Chain A
Amino acid sequence: MNLNTSILVKLKNVGFRQNDKWLVKGVSLEVKKGKIVTLIGPNGSGKSTTAKIALGIYKKIEGEVEKYTNKIGYVPQKVSIDWTLPLRVNDFMVLTENLKDEAIDEALSLTGVVHLKNKNLGNLSGGEFQRVLLARAISKKPELLVLDEPVQGVDFTGEIALYELIKKISEELKCGILLISHDLHTVMSATDYVVCLNGHVCCSGSPLDVAKDKEYKALFGEQASQTLSIYEHKHDHVHSNDGDIKKN
């Protein structure tokens, strides 16, 4: 029985070992309805691994995963599709669930690629394919979205628009989102909860809490402190007319 119905997935002290090496260890987190939880951390810190544990792709794990939904949309970090398969965008959209034509069109329009509907998947550019991947994940109106670097390869203006879309989707569908992102600025402004990973959980909490954390600064260095200043801009000081900065 799930007493707390707003929890969609809960990881309890999970870890995964491959060839006697821990890819990630001791991770606990939960994703609730309508909330965006973001995983950040350097390369090889176990972000994608954590997402795959949450999704049940890795099965021989330590710890426990409690999942309270089966309506899941997933955008993997790497998708290698074998082109021996003749596959149009349209066929790819209904890969895991049968959808009405309108639902396909709607999702593809949201990510701005409805014109590619009848194109062969192999002929898309990296950014276009990424948009199709995101459209496919949201088209089935999932309760839980797991997005592993969903905007990689997307042009700069598209990136901002897609992040706004992700935020909008979480509000409209009331779905929970587990997001993996390198873009610290986006993370800090659009996320409800941040988990900073480096093989284990370095620190976690609201974006503001994490940005202040020593371990976070140690991991991300210069960029982190910039993000902090961008994020806190409105809160900790005011600009006077002569350009002076007054602390609150």
Chain B
Amino acid sequence: MLDDFFIRALIAGIGVAIVTGPLGCFVIWRRLSYFGDTLAHSALLGVTIAFTLEFNIAFSVFIISSIIALILIQLQKKTNLPGDALLGLLAHSSLAVGLVVVGFLTFIRFDIMGLLFGDILAVTINDLITIWIGGALILLVLKLIWKPLFASTVNYELAEAEGLNPDRAKAIFTILMAGIIAISIKMVGLLLITGMLIIPAAMARNLSDNPQKMVLFSIIGGVLSVIIGLFSSLEFNTPSGPSIITASLVLFILSLLKIKQSIQLKN
């Protein structure tokens, strides 16, 4: 069954969606949309390094994204520039450096489009293992730091005062973000991974009145997007990564109807 490329794509996509669901909620709650983007852009550099040194791609992306995240935290402490300016600086400069390095690598054939938009249909059995084991690890760690991370998302000072060590939770969360980008880059590509993180979670926000519900709906929304997106890409012969994101957009638009309804009920 796993011989079929389409089945592999489905299993990979569902695996990624289960992990991006809860992470995406935190991305929205902590206002980190552009942070995810920045890490994703820096992933190109990670991929080129992996090609040059004949390294494992996921591992190389994970290392480079973590380094970029650490540089960002340092720059925030040491400069007076606002966070969004620093994010833009790091995102575009790491993307540019990545592309320049690609220019030097004339000796290997490089599928830039595949990197930018992902190629879920080229997923191998090894990729599946990376996604499911890596994803399980990310979810396990997220569960362990859930309390301090969530408490400090609501109110940093309360979490700090009552002994939850929010700084450590934040640092670990940053590494988890690098982790999800590393395992999913090959699938959805670096331009669309932030969409996977944000859109299902945004849809879930429209449907939920408490955090647990939002996480659950975010996972369901992501998985549905993958299934609908992949089948329609097969049907209409459209690119798979963008089809998944488009499917999640449709779900988001449908979720707006629910908001409209509850507003009407109130009036």
Q: Which residues of A contact B (CB under 8 A)?
A: 52, 55-57, 70, 72-74, 76, 79-82, 84-88, 90-92, 95-97, 120, 146
Q: Are B154 and A95 in contact (CB under 8 A)?
A: yes
Residues from chain A with Cβ under 8 Å of B214 in the complex:
86
Cβ 8 A contact of A82, one of B29, B158, B211: B29
Excluding A76-B161, A84-B28, A84-B31, 10 further A-B contacts by CB distance (< 8 Å) are A55-B160, A57-B161, A73-B162, A79-B158, A82-B31, A86-B208, A86-B209, A96-B151, A96-B158, A96-B159
**In this complex, what residue of A is CB-closest to B29?**
A85
Partner pick for B147 among A80, A92, A96, A120, CB 8 A cutoff:
A96
In the assembled complex, B246 has its CB within 8 A of some CB on chain A: no
User: Given the known A-B contacts A55-B161, A81-B154, A96-B158, are A88 and B205 also in contact in the complex, defined by CB atoms under 8 Å?
Assistant: no
List chain B residues, Cβ under 8 A from A120. 209
A55 to B166, CA, bound (A): 14
B150 touches A95 (CB 8 A): yes
Chain B, range 116-167, C-beta contacts under 8 Å to A: 147, 150-151, 153-155, 157-164
Q: Is the CB of B151 within 8 A of A86?
A: no
Are the CB atoms of A57 and B160 closer together than 8 Å? yes
Known contacts A96-B147, A96-B151, A96-B164; is A87 also within 8 Å of B211 by CB? Answer: yes
A96: chain B residues at CB < 8 Å are 147, 151, 158-159, 162, 164
- Give the residue name and chain of the A residue nearest to B158 (CB): A74
Which residue on A lies nearest to B214, using beta carbons?
Answer: A86
Q: Which of A82, A85, A91 is packed against the most chain B CB atoms within 10 Å?
A: A85
**Assuming the A-B contacts A92-B154, A95-B154, A96-B147, are A87 and B161 also in contact, with contact meaning beta carbons closer than 8 angstroms in the complex?**
no
Q: Which chain B residues lie closer than 8 Å to A74 at the CB level?
A: 157-158, 161-162
- Chain B residues with CB under 8 Å of A146's CB are 161
Interchain nearest-CB distance for B162 vs A (Å): 4
Kindly list chain A residues whose C-beta atoms are within 8 Å of the C-beta of B155: 76, 79-81, 95
**Closest CB in chain B relative to A229 CB, distance in Å:** 37
> Does B74 interact with chain A (Cβ within 8 Å)?
no
- Contact residues of B with A, CB < 8 Å? 28-29, 31, 147, 150-151, 153-155, 157-164, 205, 208-211, 213-214
* Measured CA separation A84–B25 after assembly (Å): 10
Most buried by A among B31, B157, B164: B157
- Sample of 8 A–B contacts (CB below 8 Å): A52-B157, A55-B157, A79-B155, A82-B31, A82-B153, A86-B214, A88-B209, A120-B209
Cβ of A92: which chain B residues have Cβ within 8 Å of it? 154
Chain A nearest CB from B32 CB (Å) reads 11
Q: A57: which B residues are within 8 A, CB to CB?
A: 157, 160-161
Chain A residues near B29 (CB, 8 Å)? Answer: 82, 84-85
Contact partner, A86, options B31, B147, B205, Cβ 8 Å:
B205
CB distance from B41 to the nearest CB of A (A): 24
Which A residue sits closest to B28, measured CB to CB? A84
Q: Are B210 and A95 in contact, with the CB atoms below 8 A?
A: no
Per CB-CB distance, the 8 closest pairs between chain A and chain B, nearest first, are A55-B161, A74-B161, A96-B162, A95-B151, A57-B160, A86-B208, A70-B163, A85-B29
CB-defined contacts of B153 to chain A, threshold 8 Å: 82, 85
**Interface contact A85-B213, CB-CB below 8 Å:** no
Which of A72, A79, A84 contacts B205 (CB under 8 A)?
A: A84
A82-B29, A84-B28, A87-B210 known; A72+B154 contact, CB < 8 A: no
Residues of A contacting B205 in the complex (Cβ-Cβ under 8 angstroms): 84, 86
Cα distance, A55 to B77, chains bound together (Å):
23
The chain B residue with its CB closest to the CB of A140 is B162
Complex: A72 Cα to B160 Cα, angstroms: 10
Contact B163 A72, beta carbon cutoff 8 Å: yes
Name A80's closest neighbour in chain B (CB-CB): B155
Collect the chain B residues with CB atoms within 8 Å of residue A76's CB.
Answer: 155, 157-158, 161
A121 smallest CB distance to B (angstroms): 9
Q: How far is the CB of A227 from chain B (nearest CB, A)?
A: 30
User: Which residues of the partner chain B approach A91 to less than 8 Å between Cβ atoms?
Assistant: 210-211
- Docked pose: A70 CA to B208 CA in angstroms: 34
What CA separation (Å) do A89 and B140 show in the bound complex? 27
For the complex, give the distance between the alpha carbons of A6 and B157 in Å: 26
In Å, the complex CA distance between A86 and B209 comes to 5
Min CB distance, B124 to chain A, in Å? Answer: 38
Contacts of B158 in A (CB 8 A): 74, 76, 79, 95-96
Beta-carbon nearest neighbor of A146 in chain B: B161
